[in-house]
Every structure is written in C-alpha cells, then in structure tokens.
Amino acid sequence: MQITAQELAVLLGGTAEGNALVALHTVAKIEEGFSGALSFLANPKYEEHIYETGSSAVLVKKDFTPTKPIHTCLIRVDDPYASFTFLLEKFSNPSAQLVGLEPMSYVDAGAQLGDSVYVGAFAYISKGAQIGAKSKIYPQVFVGANVKIGANCIIYPGVKIYHDCIIGDNCIIHASTVIGSDGFGFAPLPDRSYKKIPQTGNVVIEDDVEIGSNTSIDRATMGSTIIRKGVKLDNLIQIAHNVEVGEHSVMAGQSGVAGSSKLGKYLVIGGQVAIAGHLQIANGNQFGGQSGVNSTIKDENKKWFGTPVQELRDALRVSAVNRRLPELLNRIEALEKELNAIKNG
C-alpha cells in the first residue's frame, strides 16, 4: 500500500485533518507507530497513545475531540475499526495475488475451475469437483469427488474436504481442518461390540463462513450437517453429524456440539462449551466458557453459564454461595458444638 492520507480519506468517505499529503505505506498499532504507518483509535482506553504515536496518520471517529495537541494526521470516519479492517482486506491480502496451477498439483480432467483460481503444490482436486472464480486452494489441500467450492474462497494448507460437501462463496477455512469426515455413528450389537453406521450425507457450508484451524465438521448420517451463512468458528472445534449452526453465530475454541442438535441464529458460544445431542437452542443466546448444555433452550436472547447450564444471574448467585461454603461449614460446626454443650448441661 502506498497512498496519501487525503486519498485514503476519500476512499473511506472521511476527512483528513493535518498533513493530508503525508504518504502511508503500512499499518501499525497506535502504541507502536512509526513514520509512514497508519493506525486507528476505536477504544477510548488507548486515547493516551494518540498524543505520542509515531504513526503518520490515525483513523478516528468523526466526533473525536482531542484533549491535548495532536502531532499526527487524523482521518475522521464513521467507524475507525471497520475502516481499518476494510483496508487490511483490500491492501494486505497476499492471497489476492495468487493465480494459476503450481507444479506438482493435481486437477482431475473432470474437475471444473473458475477464472483466476489458484491451486498450490501437492493439492489434489478430485473428479467432479467445482471451484468458483478467484478461490485459492493452498498446498496439500484435498478436495474430494463432487465437492463444490464457491467464489472468492480461501482454503489454507492441509485442509481435507471429503466427497459431496458444498462450500459457499467468500468462505475461509484454515489449516488442517477436516470437512465431511464420518459422523460418530455405531450400532451396539448383542455381543457388546459396535457396528459402523454408514454416513451417507454431506456437509453444507453457506456463504461468508470462516472456520479456524484443526476443526472437524462431520458429514450427516443422512441429509446434511449445515453451517449457515456468516458463522465464525474458532480453532479446535468439533461439530458432529446432522448438526445445524444458525446464521451469524460465533463459537470459541475447544467447543463441541453433539449429533443432531439445532443451534439458532446469532449465538455466542464461549470456549470449551459442550452442547449435548438432539437439542434445540433458540436464537440470540450466549454461553460462558466451559458451560455444559444438556437440555433444549426455548427462550431467546439470554445469557447462560455453568454445568449444567443455568441463566447467568442464577449461576453467579450459586458461585457466590460456593465461595462462602467453608465459612458456612465453620459456622454450622460451631453451632453444633454449642448445641451439644447445652444438651450435655
């Protein structure tokens, strides 16, 4: 990126205040700024740094009012954080430059690649696979038979996408994630052994989904495991067979959802949350880290915590009582001694 503060302000629909002709060529944290760098101020806790930053320009809200002299160019915009994110996507995305097939990649003659697709070395694109325009398939990715990947997707190294799975447009899947592995389905037999149940379904990932590294999303026994539009999954997550994750839900690392549970829209799920199978979770609910969800939740837009999960305010009350248990035990033992003393005269 090489752009003046004034040009950047026009691009972002903002205004430049100060040396609008200063050249910007990189980005930096506001507290670590240097000449030629662009920073942003979105959190008031970092305001002190704007008076000392070495960055040549800083994105701020249009109504930002300095309380000390400013030595950098201010670019006033509606939302500094959103603007900064937009710039990172536009100018700092090395994937955008990757096009074509690298040597040692394999693309079956029956596969279809859209315009400006990139396929890295040692990637394997199977028969019947379809990859949309401008998608990037990094080295050592496996794309199974009849897989469909939409446009503008980024599939990072080592991802494995099993046969018949479908991925929408603008999706990002990080390294070593597995899409479409068999669901955990076994039928118990009279001799107490287990017979594998064939997993004949697939995984459907809708548009604008991002999935972290080392995550596993199992194919359905029948039908589809579905990750709806806009979902964001962290690293090290397990999504079991026939699960549905609702639109624009977010899930932090080491969480897991057991088979056939249906999660609503706009959920916020903290790290290490466990959701049991065959449950229904209503829209807008939020779950604190390490919560255990073992029953259906029909109410919308509530906060939950604990194992088994409780409404947050109730869980906090229980936690407060737990902290007092040693004190309460001492008081009970003291009262018992007094009662025994009275009884024994």
Q: Which residues are catalytic?
A: 241
Length of the chain: 345
Neighbours of 247 (CB within 10 A): 17
Query: Which pair of structure tokens corresponds to residue 97?
Result: 């430059």
The answer to whether the beta carbons of residues 1 and 24 sit under 8 Å apart is yes
d(CA 245, CA 257): 9
The answer to whether the beta carbons of residues 273 and 280 sit under 8 Å apart is no
d(CA 196, CA 188): 9
For the chain, give percent helix, strand, coil, nearest 5: 20, 30, 50
Among 236, 239, 269, 230, which Cα is nearest to 254's?
A: 236
Type of residue at 112: Q
Burial class (CB in 10 A: 0-12, 13-18, 19+), 343: exposed
Burial class (CB in 10 A: 0-12, 13-18, 19+), 265: middle
d(CA 33, CA 246): 40
Q: Which residues contact 68 (CB under 8 A, 6 or more apart)?
A: 51
Burial class (CB in 10 A: 0-12, 13-18, 19+), 167: buried
Mapped onto helix, strand or coil, the DSSP state of residue 57 is: strand
Task: Give the H/E segment covering residue 74.
Answer: strand 73-77
d(CA 237, CA 225): 14
Mapped onto helix, strand or coil, the DSSP state of residue 244 is: strand
- β-strands 194-196, 186-188 pairing: antiparallel
